[in-house]
Structure 1
């Protein structure tokens, strides 16, 4: 067996912690081999003594399947010690000394900063960002455009957002079956830690209002990012987001307008297209459900996108609407593990 991919996590927030959970679940369910990937270090400005309990118990996903112990500056998970650091400057981290193959950049601080490359200066071989990024060398949605990754040219890789990872499989299935189209997407998204618990100033004014008490219109880069993943759709999709008062579980609605508007679409045919893709070439990244679903039904799903056939609508003018649910934490975290595996092996 090849040597394990050695991973360091920069930012042990929700996404950082859930990469640990996803990694463990992937091994348990046979999607990843034991010893294929190992977490070596965690860097976060918060002390490990405060972070470990948040891994041990999550308010949405409840208890961690295993033992979590904070010891000195380190965290011990099921007997395996992960070194802890609290360094604000990535260039000062000992990634070279630790033989780090991939830094999982989940802090949210460096996604669009040239300082993300300081992880490379510190000795890491690759960086994988769990967010859209203008400074990344390439954007990869695992299972959609893996073939575009070039290990000789791409050192900093963006995995897009949870919404991009939900949208991409559905958008690709539509494109492959019906050809070019323009489209508009709306994500109804669970609130995140970028929002406010009570009314408090925010640079994005709608997000200043209490997250659990409001439907909050805001922006999303998911539609724009699709062009980086599926070049045929560059400039053809636009979108918006509505943040709502649920802790996790989100929904993408995609409305498409075919270039060939003479094509006759039916709900049955669209649903068959999605089911065939989910059972075939998009298996593992696109799920399919007859529905109807609600957000709590999607919690814990490891696929990043689950098409809900009960929400499909069409008309005779080459227009259709499809809907896909996603666990914006768990589903995306499993995609992150795939992405780290992709860049870490090459």
Structure 2
């Protein structure tokens, strides 16, 4: 059977695992749910670029078929990593025997999902709010975990509801919504792929009765950026039906700034208000941790080349911030960033070791962080790149760090990346103890994926992930 035919045959198996067993399959973290034949082929091709080993459909197709026969419970399964572990540690066992052993905790449980459901309210429906909505709708298939119940906005016009739905349906950067969207103007609801979202109009976060809409113990995600300290954000907790609050911006004061993959383990049940930090902080902190763990960071400077954002002016006009009043579409604009200092809130060992600045540039999405570091231990470009590639594949930071070494990639190639940051290996510069690393990041979508991970952590709704442990060979590669 040809490669195209194998990939085509995998589609209904992937769909059945998802619908009947709540199993999300992926290749090195890239979901296979609702993907076309060509996208499945591309995912296999991507695996070769990442690991330098061919991922054969002749191996993954029977692996998927075997998974479908095991009546699995809910899980997230990376078939590339599972296949690699089978080849390295199968020890003569058949594929079925290996899978039954590796997935013993969920074999025979047919869709069983021990996770509870958590109601989610998006307070604000701008760039991040709408992307979070897309991600939440995408994850709604199993009916467990995070449930998008409502969005809260200020009414902008008489046809506000239709305009909100249109902005969800069409996006100039991220493309059209994959699915169907219906609007009920009488009920003030938007239904997207079967997910019914109540649209609530309010100017006051403290006076909304969410229980009137059947919402209880909700996680409110504040996307407005209007309130960034505990006092301001605590207004949400005064509304009926709210249990916790997550801010999608750097928090001020004593708020915990969480970068998933780094310090999400510090979230406690008693934390009623948490910040998901900034897009830049999420992009650079995992890479900095990896480099600090391996080589030691003495000090460094972070320069971000950042796409313009809504707080800048389209054409020259008054702005309270320095330089930000000048046209975002025509200029490169030097501005400040707190990302370098914010790293220390998630990674205290780098406190006082980093400085940072930013240049806003005339692109709508995808930014670039340049890490100029002085190291305790000398290294080479190849050593750094091989290490970061392995970290992107086999470490606990693989959901955050991606790696690429193509000589042709540019910023638009990273639109829609689900990783917090992508290391550009060909741009790495190393001269003994001086190191420069370039990290691309989709400052909208990649950051939104990190926010979702923090939400899942706060709600305690992460499905079990397999393989639970890396192969011995993979772990050895990271340690070298």
Bin of the TM-score, shorter chain as denominator length: over 0.9
Q: Aligned partners of 2:322, 2:135: CA distance in 1, in Å?
A: 34
The unaligned stretches of length 5 or more in structure 2 are 1-112, 462-480
Cα-Cα RMSD: 1.7
Correspondence for 2:391: 277
Across the two proteins, how many residue pairs are aligned to each other? 337
| Residue 441 of structure 2 is aligned to residue 332 of structure 1 | no
Alpha-carbon contact 1:95-1:119 (below 8 Å) kept: no
Correspondence for 1:5: 118
Correspondence for 1:107: 224
Render the CA deviation track for 1:41-71: whole Å, top value 9, x for unaligned: 1001133222111110001112101122332
Out of 316, 320, 329, the position equivalent to 1:203 is 320
| Residue 161 of structure 2 is aligned to residue 48 of structure 1 | yes
1:91 alignment partner, SS class: coil
Shift of 1:34: 4.2
| Residue 404 of structure 2 is aligned to residue 295 of structure 1 | no
User: More helix per residue: 1 or 2?
Assistant: 2
Correspondence for 1:148: 266
Render the CA deviation track for 1:142-198: whole Å, top value 9, x for unaligned: 11111211222x111110111111011111111110124211101111111111111
Alpha-carbon contact 2:137-2:193 (below 8 Å) kept: no
Query: Cα 1:81–1:24, aligned 2, differ >3 Å: closer, same or farther?
Result: closer
Shift of 1:280: 1.9
| Residue 288 of structure 2 is aligned to residue 185 of structure 1 | no
Correspondence for 1:167: 284
Alpha-carbon contact 1:136-1:158 (below 8 Å) kept: no
Shift of 1:309: 0.2
The unaligned stretches of length 5 or more in structure 1 are none
Q: Aligned partners of 1:58, 1:328: CA distance in 2, in Å?
A: 15
Shift of 1:239: 0.6
Correspondence for 2:99: none
Query: Cα 1:27–1:49, aligned 2, differ >3 Å: closer, same or farther?
Result: closer
Shift of 1:343: 0.7
Larger Rg: 1 or 2?
2
Render the CA deviation track for 1:107-137: whole Å, top value 9, x for unaligned: 1211246221111121411111110011463
Correspondence for 1:305: 421
Which stretch has the larger CA shift, 34-43 or 163-172?
A: 34-43
Q: Aligned partners of 1:172, 1:333: CA distance in 2, in Å?
A: 21
2:324 alignment partner, SS class: helix
Q: Aligned partners of 1:180, 1:211: CA distance in 2, in Å?
A: 34
Out of 297, 305, 315, the position equivalent to 2:431 is 315
Shift of 1:264: 2.2
Alpha-carbon contact 2:173-2:364 (below 8 Å) kept: yes
Render the CA deviation track for 1:63-113: whole Å, top value 9, x for unaligned: 101122332222221232211111111111124552043101101211246
Render the CA deviation track for 1:188-233: whole Å, top value 9, x for unaligned: 1111111111111111131111111100111111111100100101
Structure 1 stretches of at least 4 aligned residues deviating more than 3 Å after TM superposition: 24-28
Q: Aligned partners of 2:183, 2:243: CA distance in 1, in Å?
A: 28
Out of 84, 108, 116, the position equivalent to 2:199 is 84
TM-score of the two chains, using structure 1 as the length reference:
0.93
Alpha-carbon contact 1:137-1:155 (below 8 Å) kept: no
Q: Aligned partners of 2:192, 2:137: CA distance in 1, in Å?
A: 10
TM-score of the two chains, using structure 2 as the length reference:
0.68
